[in-house]
Chain A
């Protein structure tokens, strides 16, 4: 304790400068988070809305309803949504990384019109999610949708028109537009990373007889590790909490894309907040947050070396 006070006194100016940030974090992050966690233990329903945090104490009832009560509408379709979210998150995160990396490698080369190409490639990223959802909603239609016209009528890759917006393909109808929208961000980050790799490393490898693939594998990929590690973390967090794309594409009814397309966030929104059961909604969100803390912990263990300054 004496040591702590000594450190505080020694660095008091530094701590003083940190104080506004700490206060901001307390008000904007810690307090709402604590309220959310506390709400998960309350019976906060339609008739108790005015009470807010003074709603009756429910103990673990909300958590029991979410995890164990088969009759509870709150947990309806939860496992489908969990399965889809895992599939969606992995596919979108890896998909955006791969497409972004390929595009970054392409526009990192010298060619005429490179600046224009780089700017045009950012286009999907600046399209609002609302437009993306609406646009792809039309493009996926079985008979008149652009995707099937390209796949079947133009390229003859398939001899039948698949159904995308209902049934098992629904998850791909959500994954592909998300990758389409997010890859420019990955490209931008990876391009910045690529430009930080010294040219002489590649030249040395070339003199030593390294093939382009060996250069990529032993130079580009490892030296880009800090960038793609951050992109991986960002992708995992951002995609697990995906909500807009589903609501924009399937939000005309209950925002339910079917068992094959429902995600955790849309499930929580529908099953708790449309049901006016804020306590259960908070409990579900807390559980999801706990899951994400575990994911981040695993990520940190795997990549902490890449983050430290060399």
Chain B
């Protein structure tokens, strides 16, 4: 008689258990054939990890849609940000993408140019997109080189200024008095002079990361725009980074390093490390996305730093106004439909559900910390009755999106991130004393390279030039 382990009491029981498990699993996992037999239609959506629990949060967000569409099975796939672009473009080329896809604001134009996205002018018209969404999001939904709307805004990434109220108070700086860039520099100088210590370490006035970072261009943009400068001319067909106004903005931002307000050691770090510096109390101020607000209030057991000395003593404010504009970088994500979808009408329903339904917009803002794109969402008490979120409501009107030109991806990823990153080296004086000529030389290289990319694009798509020249860039609210 064989000796049986307690885990395997008998072969008959094991067989029964296996058969039971098979039944249970076959009940859980239906094959596409079974689903089709039962009349289920599958709708696939690809999203990125926008919340701490992306899969669960999306499933919870989609409950209403699933209830309203019992014959539809919505499958959510979460793509990592680092691989999302490659996967989406590969899928667009191969024609086997999902039905609905999340896109970074600057991706929409490139994918429209590749012919991967379904025009959704009908949806935009039906929901009255030009009225219901914030006007500064329009730039992204209809690419400059297209005559069609190809996406709708889902959520926004806008960057307020976080500050340490206790440090500001010790340095006798009133954050409410910081109205423009001069006030801002004066405030930072006062904090620097006060040499305030936190756990024995001197608190630096502000922290911006250097070139080893994914936010290089986003960090430069508000200062370039603030002086009336820009990356491209209003038609988006020529680089104007070397204009007098753009150069002033660049010089101001680099000046924060040169004056020691943003210490040179920060330039070795990336956004996550700079953010940790703020959390550790070593920075008096920081420009970061609104998701930081959630993290500062989340208890440590859930991964946040709620109730820490920094979390108990921080405030948020709208960044100071530049000489010409008060502008902040605005990114975020769009939702679009792949042209290869087999269920365009259902996909449009899902798109509307996620973008123009106020409850869903607010629901996702609550879990992600990003801001909704729907105007009416900001009238909710969640925004109006919270001191910090009320600042976000004010902030969002100053947000500005990059021009939705088909070559922005190449410009940003390769040329601007590298070229603007080199400017940090010049400001840090690692290769010799700082000179305006060295900055100008680096900017000239970027301009030359960007114009070369633009020329190359128009050689391949001559029809785009006329189309883009006929459209003027949308100017953000003052």
Cβ–Cβ contact A71 & B452, under 8 A: yes
Which B residues between 409 and 457 are near A, CB-CB below 8 angstroms? 409-410, 413-415, 417-418, 421-422, 424-425, 428, 430-431, 445, 448-453, 456
Would A168 and B431 be within 8 Å (CB), given that A257-B212, A274-B410 are in contact? yes
Cβ–Cβ contact B413 & A252, under 8 A: no
Give bound CA distance, A139 to B85, whole Å.
31
Give bound CA distance, A252 to B66, whole Å.
38
User: In the assembled complex, which residues on chain B have CB atoms less than 8 Å from the CB atom of A258?
Assistant: 211, 421-422, 425
Cβ–Cβ contact B453 & A275, under 8 A: yes
A270 in contact (CB, < 8 A): yes
Give bound CA distance, A276 to B406, whole Å.
12
Cβ–Cβ contact B113 & A254, under 8 A: no
Cβ–Cβ contact B212 & A250, under 8 A: yes
Give bound CA distance, A274 to B424, whole Å.
22
> Interface code A230-254, partner B: CB below 8 Å = 1, 0 otherwise?
0000000000000000000110111
Give bound CA distance, A27 to B324, whole Å.
61
Of B187-195, B261-269, B307-315, which binds chain A? B261-269
Which B residues between 392 and 422 are near A, CB-CB below 8 angstroms? 409-410, 413-415, 417-418, 421-422
Number of interface residues of A (CB under 8 A): 35
User: In the assembled complex, which residues on chain A have CB atoms less than 8 Å from the CB atom of B453?
Assistant: 73, 275
Return the chain B residue nearest A52 by Cβ. B93
Cβ–Cβ contact A46 & B113, under 8 A: yes
Number of interface residues of B (CB under 8 A): 42
Give bound CA distance, A23 to B47, whole Å.
43
Would A71 and B418 be within 8 Å (CB), given that A46-B114, A142-B268 are in contact? no
A77 in contact (CB, < 8 A): yes
B210 in contact (CB, < 8 A): yes
User: In the assembled complex, which residues on chain A have CB atoms less than 8 Å from the CB atom of B265?
Assistant: 141-143
Cβ–Cβ contact B449 & A71, under 8 A: yes
B270 in contact (CB, < 8 A): yes
Cβ–Cβ contact B430 & A73, under 8 A: no
Give bound CA distance, A71 to B265, whole Å.
33
User: In the assembled complex, which residues on chain A have CB atoms less than 8 Å from the CB atom of B460?
Assistant: 45, 47
User: In the assembled complex, which residues on chain A have CB atoms less than 8 Å from the CB atom of B113?
Assistant: 46-47
Interface of B is mostly: helix
> Interface code B195-215, partner A: CB below 8 Å = 1, 0 otherwise?
000000000000000111111
CB distance from B401 to the nearest CB of A (A): 20
A87 in contact (CB, < 8 A): no
Interface of A is mostly: loop
CB distance from B280 to the nearest CB of A (A): 11
Return the chain B residue nearest A75 by Cβ. B449
User: In the assembled complex, which residues on chain A have CB atoms less than 8 Å from the CB atom of B431?
Assistant: 167-168, 259-260
CB distance from B254 to the nearest CB of A (A): 14
User: In the assembled complex, which residues on chain B have CB atoms less than 8 Å from the CB atom of A274?
Assistant: 410, 413-414
Among B214, B410, B414, B430, residue most surrounded by chain A Cβ atoms (within 10 Å): B414
A50 in contact (CB, < 8 A): yes
CB distance from A124 to the nearest CB of B (A): 23
Cβ–Cβ contact A254 & B268, under 8 A: no
CB distance from A42 to the nearest CB of B (A): 14
Give bound CA distance, A250 to B453, whole Å.
25
User: In the assembled complex, which residues on chain B have CB atoms less than 8 Å from the CB atom of A168?
Assistant: 430-431
A: residues with CB less than 8 A from B are 45-47, 49-50, 71-73, 76-77, 140-143, 163-168, 249-250, 252-254, 256-260, 270-271, 274-276
B: residues with CB less than 8 A from A are 93, 110, 113-114, 210-216, 264-265, 267-271, 409-410, 413-415, 417-418, 421-422, 424-425, 428, 430-431, 445, 448-453, 456, 460-461
| Beyond A47-B460, A73-B415, 18 additional pairs, beta carbon < 8 A | A45-B460, A142-B264, A142-B268, A143-B265, A166-B268, A167-B430, A168-B431, A253-B211, A253-B421, A254-B216, A256-B211, A256-B417, A258-B211, A258-B422, A258-B425, A259-B425, A274-B414, A275-B414
Chain A to chain B contacts (Cβ below 8 Å), 22 pairs: A71-B448, A71-B452, A72-B452, A77-B418, A140-B268, A141-B268, A142-B265, A163-B428, A166-B428, A167-B428, A168-B431, A254-B414, A254-B417, A254-B421, A256-B211, A256-B417, A257-B212, A258-B211, A259-B422, A270-B418, A274-B414, A275-B453
